[in-house]
Amino acid sequence: MIRTKSIEAFQEAVKYIPGGVNSPVRALKAVGESPLFIERAKGVTLTDIDGNQFTDFCLSWGVFILGHSHPEVLNQVGQAILRGTSYGIPTLQETALAKLVNRFIPTMERVRFVNSGTEAVMSAIRLARGYTGRNLIVKFVGCYHGHVDHLLVAAGSGVATMGASSSAGVPDSFVAHTACLPFNDKAAVEELFSKRGHEIAAVIVEPVPANMGVVPARDGFLQFLREVTRAYGALLIFDEVITGFRLTAGGAQKLFGIAPDLTTVGKIVGGGFPAAAFGGRADIMRLLAPEGPVYQAGTLSGNPVAMSAGIATLGILSQEGIYDTLNQKAEAFINGLRQVLAPKGVIVNSVGNMFTPFFTEGEVRNFDDVKRSDTVRFGKFFRHMLAGGVYFSPSQFETNFISIAHTEEVLVKVIDVASRFNG
Ligand code: HOZ
């Protein structure tokens, strides 16, 4: 496979952009590769600037549940752009998308749009502190909630990929009000609550951690978090930036039947544009400015083009049976992948249409287990798949996604490529 143009483009990019990329994992450093530069994408096919084509399982980190460049989304976006691209004044589209979000995820009784998942989380945390009058936030090791300073403690995603447990530039005092506990460990949560329960503003959790690879919650862990937070007057925040509108129409909270107080969503809700949202109980959301004293704002928040892309995407996702079809197709594919990879000492964790291969033995239940995975083998596997025309998410600490645009025919070919891995 010739990738000369991408290699040259990267050499040029590093002269002007730190590391040549605008988000660290994209550099493909951790998998021993040089980044692809993409020219276009349609359905599940990425085309790089050398003309190589790849079946995409990263899908802009989970954004494209419909596949890239869905005609209906492009149509609505095109119409929106012709009316102007930003006003900084309310539009009908914001209410229309907020209504859709509420219909899909009813616990989001009120919704505020922002520009990224990081911003959604940052705002939800501020709101939780404003509402409870408490400071302490509990997060879980390996969970990632964007790059907001006080949550960059033992975080997954790019932070784990770069081998760092935290980030330079974050003063210790900024993380003094963040407690970090092992995921799936009820005893650790119980102990912290018994000692400091009345200081805790909120517990924030990815209900399906996806930023350390997929690590499902076990043994009623999420239900337990719901109960313990309620008992101590703390809020439960589900970070559904990845899982919202992905696992089911109603996200992970619908799948597990648990109602958080606040939820953050991103990725899918922006239909490929920079939009995200946080929302939740009306009595909490009422504290946001201009109704209440918790300040939050943004020039491009609720951007009309992004809202139109979100409306088009959720409109299509409203179709009856769309998630059943997607999840059935995903189950068959993931089982097929498991079958060919198990003899090679690879286990595949999954929930619904999200999956991660781990190069380790035994179960992967938390970040310590994740860290046992052989990342050198992961890199070999990534490169093997890439050479076979398949773009998996380029880090052990991320997730792959299946979209409605992956056909069974394509998925069978991908299993065949995986079956030839012998690294
Ligand atoms: N942290 C993002 C995925 N979990 C990566 C975003 C990107 O590099 O585009």
pLDDT tens-digit readout, 68-115: 999 999 999 999 999 999 999 999 999 999 999 999 999 999 999 999
Helices (H) and strands (E) in the chain, counts: 15, 14
Question: To the nearest whole percent, how much of the chain has pLDDT over 70?
Answer: 99
- Which of 56, 157, 161, 241 has most ligand 1 atoms within 8 Å of CB, for mutation? 157
Give the full edge-to-edge strand order of the sheet including 262-265: 110-114, 276-280, 262-265, 235-240, 200-205, 136-140, 178-181
- Each residue's pLDDT tens digit, 36-67: 999 999 999 999 999 999 999 999 999 999 99
Task: Give the per-residue pLDDT at 233.
Answer: 98
Contact criterion met (CB below 8 Å) for 326 and 408: no
- Catalytic residue list contains 144: yes
Task: Give the per-residue pLDDT at 164.
Answer: 56
Residue 356 CB less than 6 A away from ligand 1: no
Task: Give the per-residue pLDDT at 171.
Answer: 85
Reported in sequence order, the residue ranges of 200-353 that DSSP labels E, i.e. its strands, are 200-205, 235-240, 262-265, 276-280, 347-351
Does residue 253 surpass a pLDDT of 70? yes
Nearest 5°: the CA angle 66, 71, 77 is 100
CA distance 243 to 245: 6
- Catalytic residue list contains 239: yes
Lowest-pLDDT range of 48-62, 139-153, 238-252: 139-153
- Band of residue 161 on the pLDDT scale cut at 50, 70, 90: low
- N-terminal to C-terminal alpha carbon distance within the chain: 19
Task: Give the per-residue pLDDT at 165.
Answer: 58
Please state the rounded mean pLDDT for residues 393-417: 97
Task: Give the per-residue pLDDT at 170.
Answer: 87
Contact criterion met (CB below 8 Å) for 84 and 423: no
- Catalytic residue list contains 344: no
- Band of residue 187 on the pLDDT scale cut at 50, 70, 90: very high
Residue 61 CB less than 6 A away from ligand 1: yes
Which residue, judged by its Cα, is nearest atom 1 of ligand 1?
Answer: 157
- Each residue's pLDDT tens digit, 281-294: 999 999 999 999 99
> Which helix (H) or strand (E) covers residue 196, if one does?
helix 186-196
Burial 305-330 (b: 16+ CB within 10 A, else e): bbbbbbbbbbebbeeeeebeebbebb
> Cβ atoms within 10 A of the Cβ of 122, count?
22
Tokens of 25: 């994992």
Rounded to the nearest angstrom, the distance between the alpha carbon of 23 and the centre of ligand 1 is: 7
Task: Point out the ligand 1 atom lying closest to the alpha carbon of residue 398.
Answer: 4
- Band of residue 353 on the pLDDT scale cut at 50, 70, 90: very high
Average pLDDT over all residues of the chain: 96
Coil, helix or strand at residue 223: helix
**What is the residue type of 308?**
S
Rounded to the nearest angstrom, the distance between the alpha carbon of 205 and the centre of ligand 1 is: 17
- Band of residue 152 on the pLDDT scale cut at 50, 70, 90: confident
Task: Give the per-residue pLDDT at 158.
Answer: 75
Task: Give the per-residue pLDDT at 162.
Answer: 63
Please state the rounded mean pLDDT for residues 256-279: 98
- Each residue's pLDDT tens digit, 112-137: 999 999 999 999 999 999 999 999 99
pTM: 0.96
Residue 26 CB less than 6 A away from ligand 1: yes
Which residue, judged by its Cα, is nearest atom 9 of ligand 1?
Answer: 23
Residue 398 CB less than 6 A away from ligand 1: yes
